[in-house]
Amino acid sequence: MFSALINAFKIPDLKRRILITAGLIVIYRIGCYIPTPGIDGSALAEFFARISKSQGGTVFSIINMFSGGAMEKLTIFALGIMPYISSSIIMQLLTAVIPALEKLAKEGKAGYEKINQYTRYGTVAISFIQSFFIAIWLENPERFEGLKIVMHPGWGFRIITVLTLTTGTIFIMWLGEQIQERGIGNGISLVITAGIISRIPAAIHQLFIFLSPFNAAHRQIQPFTLLVMAAIFVIVTFAVIMITQAQRKIPVQYARRVVGRKIYGGQSTYIPLKVDTSGVIAIIFAQCIILFPATLASFVPNPGFQRLAQALIRGHFLYTALYALLIIFFCYFYTAIVFNPSDLAENMKKYGGFIPGIRPGASTAEFLEYVMTRITLAGALFIVVIAILPDAIMAGLKVPYLIASFAGGTSILITVGVLLDTLKQIESHLLTHHYEGFIKTGHIRGRK
């Protein structure tokens, strides 16, 4: 593996792409420390620390995770890339239900660029809305347990905050596109991963404090607990890699056709059906919905909302049960959006392809839907286990959520998936230039 990394810097084009990617990620991380005007960053960080200790959370906690901690300091990149992710998901859903967008998506590169432009417009609109409500949220000390976050509240602060946070999100989106075009890997995914990985030093520091190596009597985490967590981390990482790359291969045979003097078709191939089609999307949807009452309770001091928010605190049975059901629902929902067995069966029939033992057309579509439904259930149950694992670790081993989150949950799903995709692209460049890849037998498969 190390020899493959060394060989990567021997290829000029690949070396340039890796250095550009690293440079743009460094720029992103620098921006995560530039504060938004008019904000007391230390007071806001103290408030987020209290939320973490109380094992609660809001939608802002999700934004904080994806922004690499920028939200808790409200820097210029506080919104992170979440508005772009939300806009992309909305466009995917609209493409499936609006015939004009569906037709546009089938027009190839031109249609893709048009939809991508609509996604950018949606990102700007979502950023404006989110940043405006964040500015209003920050102005009221009652929502921060008496802490004064904004030094000079008013419309001047709101306008500056909206412009600053929206511009920051647009700049991050541009960085991701530059990585995609000039660097290596998926730009947006790498930006998210960089934010998640940036929290590792804070988790290690917190773990070191809780271990208290110089005062065994006041240890909050015992060495045995650390060993158990290390074992869980290794097992979970291995399981995520296996499920991320897991496929159900449906064999497809193409009939032989004679056109003039040429013979077409006759070869055998397969359709790779992903076990985990939705990936982290299902967790993001589920988290946003289940944490929405707590977020609304911070804006509207209504007793009903307050009681509902208290019932949906992380670690409670109602929270865990609803969280699991929502994840399973969105796994099926997202799979139904991105996978159309009828279109796939029609294209196979059009080009003379068929699944051995299955009639072309409607029977093929029914078979593909049946198989996809079964493997999606396995993927959804795995995602549920990974998603609730940090809560189980936090309750069973008595460790903070920041430490437990690196043994499961959204963080490890994103990090493992993105690193696999990036290594796959690097390996492709190495094999093109007749170098060995990262593994001697077989090749790395990404998520797609």
pLDDT in tens, 11-39: 888 888 889 999 999 999 898 888 888 88
Superfamily of domain 221-408: SecY subunit domain (1.10.3370.10)
Look at residue 216 in the predicted model and tell me its pLDDT: 54
Distance between CA atoms of residues 62 and 237, nearest Å: 21
Distance between CA atoms of residues 447 and 420, nearest Å: 8
Percentage of the chain modeled with pLDDT above 90 = 10
Q: What average pLDDT is seen over the chain? A: 79
For the segment 33-50, what is each residue's pLDDT rounded down to a tens digit? 888 888 877 777 777 766
Distance between CA atoms of residues 200 and 214, nearest Å: 23
Look at residue 437 in the predicted model and tell me its pLDDT: 57
For the segment 329-375, what is each residue's pLDDT rounded down to a tens digit? 988 888 888 888 888 888 888 877 888 888 888 898 899 999 999 99
Percentage of the chain modeled with pLDDT above 70 = 80
How many C-beta atoms surround the C-beta of residue 212 within 10 A? 13
Whether the pLDDT of residue 3 is over 80: the answer is no
Distance between CA atoms of residues 134 and 127, nearest Å: 10
Which two structure tokens, joined as six digits, stand for 112? 């893709």
- What strands, in cross-sheet order, belong to the sheet with 353-354? 268-274, 247-254, 353-354
What's the mean pLDDT in 270-294? Answer: 79
Look at residue 334 in the predicted model and tell me its pLDDT: 84
Q: What confidence category does residue 302 fall into, taking pLDDT thresholds of 50, 70 and 90?
A: low
Using an 8 Å Cβ cutoff, are 141 and 149 in contact?
A: yes
Q: State the maximum Cα–Cα separation within the chain, in Å, rounded to a whole number.
A: 86
Q: Is the pTM of this model over 0.75?
A: yes
Whether the pLDDT of residue 93 is over 50: the answer is yes
Radius of gyration (Cα) for the chain, nearest Å? 24
Paired with 272 in beta bridges are: 249
Distance between CA atoms of residues 369 and 20, nearest Å: 42
Using an 8 Å Cβ cutoff, are 120 and 91 in contact?
A: no
For the segment 146-171, what is each residue's pLDDT rounded down to a tens digit? 677 888 888 888 899 999 999 999 99
Look at residue 282 in the predicted model and tell me its pLDDT: 82
Whether the pLDDT of residue 124 is over 90: the answer is yes
Q: Where in the chain is the domain with CATH 1.10.3370.10?
A: 1-198, 221-408
Look at residue 20 in the predicted model and tell me its pLDDT: 92
Q: Is 170 exposed, middle or buried (0-12, 13-18, 19+ CB in 10 A)?
A: middle
Residues contacting residue 40 through CB under 8 Å, at least 6 positions apart: 147, 148, 149, 150, 151
Q: Is 217 exposed, middle or buried (0-12, 13-18, 19+ CB in 10 A)?
A: exposed
Whether the pLDDT of residue 62 is over 90: the answer is no
Look at residue 55 in the predicted model and tell me its pLDDT: 47
Q: What confidence category does residue 125 fall into, taking pLDDT thresholds of 50, 70 and 90?
A: very high
Distance between CA atoms of residues 231 and 330, nearest Å: 30
Task: Please compute, for residue 83, the number of CA atoms within 13 A of its CA located in the half-sphere on the CB side.
Answer: 25
CATH tag, 1-198 = 1.10.3370.10
Lowest average pLDDT, out of 159-163, 185-189, 440-444, goes to 440-444
